Chain A
């Protein structure tokens, strides 16, 4: 069932022909075009790095490759033969396997069971042949150089060994294409080195490897080819040997930023928020910044840089281990969400579905939820005042809804976002934190959210905007703080705010640090 050693002899000859090629792939979701006419080719015995900003379409293409999404247009060819992946099983049968950021394995099963789940060797009566399974599992584990007993439970392994099990699983199904999505994100330096060795082994075995990473040093170290996506489009591909770091950064971000953002006269007032030495045991360290009335402060960084975690601490969702917060010059103790709201800090979370709108409650009940004390008399809610409050703020946001007692679940993503923002504006905050405010919403709603954010700042509200979209951060913010691995990598303002500096600081590229 797994690759025999003699395959490597054939790889050199086949190197010029891709194992897998995608062309003209388009995938749209309601209101969003995630991929637009992209192509991707993977060659045997070579590592292709897929590079792009957050939201460039990398995860979407992985889902197309593994049969989770079906593309609207375009062709997938394996060995030059056009094919389709209607199910995840079909992709796996074609020899494509993905090792995800969070490996998809089963904690309560043994290593051997994890490796062979779904294709366990069968005995004569159709029952699982445990002895063969364990023997084959240890053979595969030997091949990846893992010293793991196949009969231990997966949950007893460390993260690096779990990766090895995932890779062993890939080998057991005779995978020819291995997709590694940020495989080093949670590994130590020593484990990363071991992973690189393993990638070399896979290359020698003739596997085609798609390597997704934000870390430029590792891309330049192990990749043979690169493909760059930007905003769901294919913007370049070639050999690593032919490109410099600077050119790759330029390909990733290259575009003009000035286009669509509202005009703002940067005229910040008094300091309203001061965060000093904010620390968290695991998520972030030594975060200090200040914020003025009428200012928009951008927070940029890669996914997992700790931006949202800082904001959640400021909003009382998690507790920081050290540091102080001053609002309007007075120290505040944020021990709960209610305390944050009391202090005038509100947070519009990133994941509307899970953290924002309460699907099932009508619009007005969503909006008034944190303001019920103001719409009540003697402890009883007054419907008329609820509607009045809701109307006041939803009209300012230009909410499109049939009626205010309509279920939030029936609104579009952009309008749900407006309901969540209206909810917080109704508490009359001093500081509003917008976490990825335009993620996953259509262009029209994006422009409305941008215009409104600018208007809020103009009215004297202090705004923190966490965003992974470089044009949005640069187009909207007066200053930008770049975070990397839980720390502040840079604070940029004025002329320093360019796409290149943002990416450099976020990815930790050493040269050109300001």
Chain B
């Protein structure tokens, strides 16, 4: 069990993060102080939430490019609601955000399932549509901190047991996904559909339906993140989280979620997100320009994919042999 873990992708990534922290700590010891690590984790929480949803979508051989637009639209809707009706309780706001996100995810899922449109095309389209709707409902106006109620802004910041609620949201989501992915039939179906769609059909699994659920989950988390994002930064406008969908996909890829589907783990997605989170928080401290930040993230993606390709190569050979044999 331990030997298996040491060889795993997750262990490698954990070691990489530890090495990164050690390197930074050698020059800036305060970076690894407990308080700062909590801040880094809290800052990465939104990425973790989105990466979890993206993970199950990628497991089923799909991709969801609309998560950031979904986040921005949900964030705008709840922010506008808050300005109009400041009395609406946070629980209701959370439910609205989750539902709205789920609906937008389900739209993606339905288009992929029922119309069999390639996922990249569907979510590229809905990404633009969702952004466009934000402009329509807000008229391009910003909603600023002073227009939001205090309760609305306080929720992600409220500290419980030493951690802000934003971090707790991410932790709860991770726990729920560990159970969902490892202990439910739906979780098993994600792997089966991505690992071998034809075999999944022969086993009685509906491939399109499984993909629909993956998109709905991804959308639900994007909706939740939409409220958390807007309330945390206390601002909502058309372009928030612009391009963030690519960071989310990058976190998954770095975390060893195979873009070809069927391979990945919750731990991988979380560690991939944390890796990017540490880099993004550390580079300004080490005084490296944001341009290098992008280059380093990009290099990390390529290294991760190259490592994954290496580790799956032996497996590929076995498959080819059997294929040739039966040919």
Show the binding face of A for B, using Cβ within 8 Å. Answer: 29-32, 59, 315, 317, 336-338, 340-341, 347, 349, 351-361, 365, 369-370, 372-373, 376, 379-381, 407, 409-410, 413, 416, 423, 439-440
- Closest chain B residue to A337 by CB distance? B204
- Tell which of B183, B185, B203 touches A337, judged by Cβ atoms closer than 8 Å: B203
**Residue of A29, A369, A373, A440 with highest tally of chain B CB at under 10 A:** A369
A358-B196, A440-B326 given. 8 additional CB < 8 A pairs? A355-B198, A369-B203, A376-B185, A381-B184, A381-B188, A407-B315, A409-B315, A416-B322
**Contact assessment for B204 and A370 in the assembled complex, using a CB-CB cutoff below 8 Å:** yes
Contact with A along B193-230 (1 / 0, CB 8 A): 00110111111111000000000000000000000000
Contact with A along B150-181 (1 / 0, CB 8 A): 00000000000000000000000000000100
Interfacial chain B residues near A369, Cβ < 8 Å: 188, 192, 203, 205
- Tell which of A317, A336, A353, A357 touches B323, judged by Cβ atoms closer than 8 Å: A353
Asked if B119 CB lies within 8 Å of chain A CBs, one says no
* B309, chain A: closest CB distance, angstroms: 15
- Tell which of B182, B195, B201, B202 touches A360, judged by Cβ atoms closer than 8 Å: B195
Interfacial chain A residues near B262, Cβ < 8 Å: 358, 360-361
- Chain B residues 270 to 327 lying within 8 A of chain A, measured CB to CB, are 315, 318-319, 321-327
* A327, chain B: closest CB distance, angstroms: 17
**Contact assessment for B326 and A439 in the assembled complex, using a CB-CB cutoff below 8 Å:** yes
For the complex, give the distance between the alpha carbons of A117 and B25 in Å.
60
Asked if B143 CB lies within 8 Å of chain A CBs, one says no
**Contact assessment for B185 and A413 in the assembled complex, using a CB-CB cutoff below 8 Å:** no
* A376, chain B: closest CB distance, angstroms: 7
For the complex, give the distance between the alpha carbons of A336 and B203 in Å.
11
**Contact assessment for B184 and A358 in the assembled complex, using a CB-CB cutoff below 8 Å:** no
Show the binding face of B for A, using Cβ within 8 Å. Answer: 179, 182-185, 188, 191-192, 195-196, 198-206, 262-263, 315, 318-319, 321-327
**Contact assessment for B195 and A373 in the assembled complex, using a CB-CB cutoff below 8 Å:** no
Interfacial chain A residues near B202, Cβ < 8 Å: 315, 317, 337, 347, 349, 355-356
A-B contact pairs, 21 of them (CB 8 A): A29-B321, A59-B327, A317-B201, A337-B203, A337-B204, A347-B202, A351-B326, A354-B198, A355-B198, A356-B202, A358-B192, A358-B196, A361-B192, A369-B203, A376-B184, A381-B188, A410-B315, A410-B318, A413-B325, A439-B326, A440-B322
Interfacial chain A residues near B200, Cβ < 8 Å: 358
Known contacts A358-B199, A409-B315, A439-B326: A373-B185 contact under CB 8 Å: yes
Known contacts A317-B201, A376-B185: A30-B325 contact under CB 8 Å: yes
Interfacial chain A residues near B191, Cβ < 8 Å: 358, 360-361, 365
**Contact assessment for A360 and B325 in the assembled complex, using a CB-CB cutoff below 8 Å:** no
- Closest chain A residue to B315 by CB distance? A409
* A350, chain B: closest CB distance, angstroms: 8
For the complex, give the distance between the alpha carbons of A30 and B317 in Å.
13
For the complex, give the distance between the alpha carbons of A134 and B184 in Å.
61
For the complex, give the distance between the alpha carbons of A338 and B179 in Å.
25
For the complex, give the distance between the alpha carbons of A53 and B182 in Å.
46
**Contact assessment for B203 and A359 in the assembled complex, using a CB-CB cutoff below 8 Å:** no
**Contact assessment for A32 and B325 in the assembled complex, using a CB-CB cutoff below 8 Å:** yes
**Contact assessment for B326 and A355 in the assembled complex, using a CB-CB cutoff below 8 Å:** no
* A448, chain B: closest CB distance, angstroms: 18
**Residue of A32, A349, A358, A407 with highest tally of chain B CB at under 10 A:** A358
For the complex, give the distance between the alpha carbons of A31 and B326 in Å.
11
State the majority secondary structure of interface residues on B: helix
- Tell which of B203, B315, B318, B327 touches A423, judged by Cβ atoms closer than 8 Å: B203
Interfacial chain A residues near B192, Cβ < 8 Å: 358, 361, 369
**Contact assessment for B183 and A380 in the assembled complex, using a CB-CB cutoff below 8 Å:** yes
**Contact assessment for B195 and A358 in the assembled complex, using a CB-CB cutoff below 8 Å:** yes
For the complex, give the distance between the alpha carbons of A354 and B195 in Å.
10
Closest CB pairs A-B (n = 5) = A440-B326, A337-B204, A372-B185, A338-B204, A360-B195
For the complex, give the distance between the alpha carbons of A288 and B179 in Å.
47
**Contact assessment for A380 and B184 in the assembled complex, using a CB-CB cutoff below 8 Å:** yes
Interfacial chain A residues near B322, Cβ < 8 Å: 352-353, 413, 416, 440
Known contacts A355-B198, A359-B195, A361-B192: A30-B204 contact under CB 8 Å: no
**Contact assessment for A29 and B203 in the assembled complex, using a CB-CB cutoff below 8 Å:** no
For the complex, give the distance between the alpha carbons of A360 and B323 in Å.
16
- Closest chain B residue to A442 by CB distance? B325
- Tell which of A29, A381, A407 touches B185, judged by Cβ atoms closer than 8 Å: A381
Interfacial chain A residues near B315, Cβ < 8 Å: 359-360, 407, 409-410
* B210, chain A: closest CB distance, angstroms: 12
**Residue of A340, A354, A360 with highest tally of chain B CB at under 10 A:** A360
For the complex, give the distance between the alpha carbons of A376 and B184 in Å.
8
- Closest chain B residue to A413 by CB distance? B322
For the complex, give the distance between the alpha carbons of A32 and B322 in Å.
11
Interfacial chain B residues near A352, Cβ < 8 Å: 322, 326
- Tell which of A354, A372, A407 touches B199, judged by Cβ atoms closer than 8 Å: A354
For the complex, give the distance between the alpha carbons of A401 and B323 in Å.
20
- Closest chain B residue to A29 by CB distance? B325
For the complex, give the distance between the alpha carbons of A409 and B315 in Å.
7
- Closest chain A residue to B196 by CB distance? A358
**Contact assessment for B325 and A361 in the assembled complex, using a CB-CB cutoff below 8 Å:** no
For the complex, give the distance between the alpha carbons of A456 and B326 in Å.
25
Interfacial chain B residues near A355, Cβ < 8 Å: 198-199, 202
Interfacial chain B residues near A351, Cβ < 8 Å: 326
Interfacial chain B residues near A340, Cβ < 8 Å: 204
* A471, chain B: closest CB distance, angstroms: 19
For the complex, give the distance between the alpha carbons of A58 and B318 in Å.
24
Interfacial chain B residues near A373, Cβ < 8 Å: 185
For the complex, give the distance between the alpha carbons of A508 and B206 in Å.
40
Interfacial chain A residues near B325, Cβ < 8 Å: 29-32, 413, 440
**Contact assessment for A336 and B195 in the assembled complex, using a CB-CB cutoff below 8 Å:** no
- Tell which of A336, A360, A416 touches B204, judged by Cβ atoms closer than 8 Å: A336
**Contact assessment for A365 and B188 in the assembled complex, using a CB-CB cutoff below 8 Å:** yes
Interfacial chain B residues near A381, Cβ < 8 Å: 182-185, 188
Known contacts A30-B321, A359-B319: A370-B203 contact under CB 8 Å: yes
Interfacial chain B residues near A372, Cβ < 8 Å: 185, 188
For the complex, give the distance between the alpha carbons of A379 and B203 in Å.
19
- Tell which of B179, B204, B326 touches A353, judged by Cβ atoms closer than 8 Å: B326
Interfacial chain A residues near B205, Cβ < 8 Å: 369
- Closest chain B residue to A360 by CB distance? B195
**Contact assessment for A354 and B196 in the assembled complex, using a CB-CB cutoff below 8 Å:** yes
Interfacial chain B residues near A360, Cβ < 8 Å: 191, 195-196, 262-263, 315
Known contacts A354-B196, A359-B196: A409-B203 contact under CB 8 Å: no
Interfacial chain A residues near B321, Cβ < 8 Å: 29-30
Interfacial chain A residues near B185, Cβ < 8 Å: 372-373, 376, 379, 381
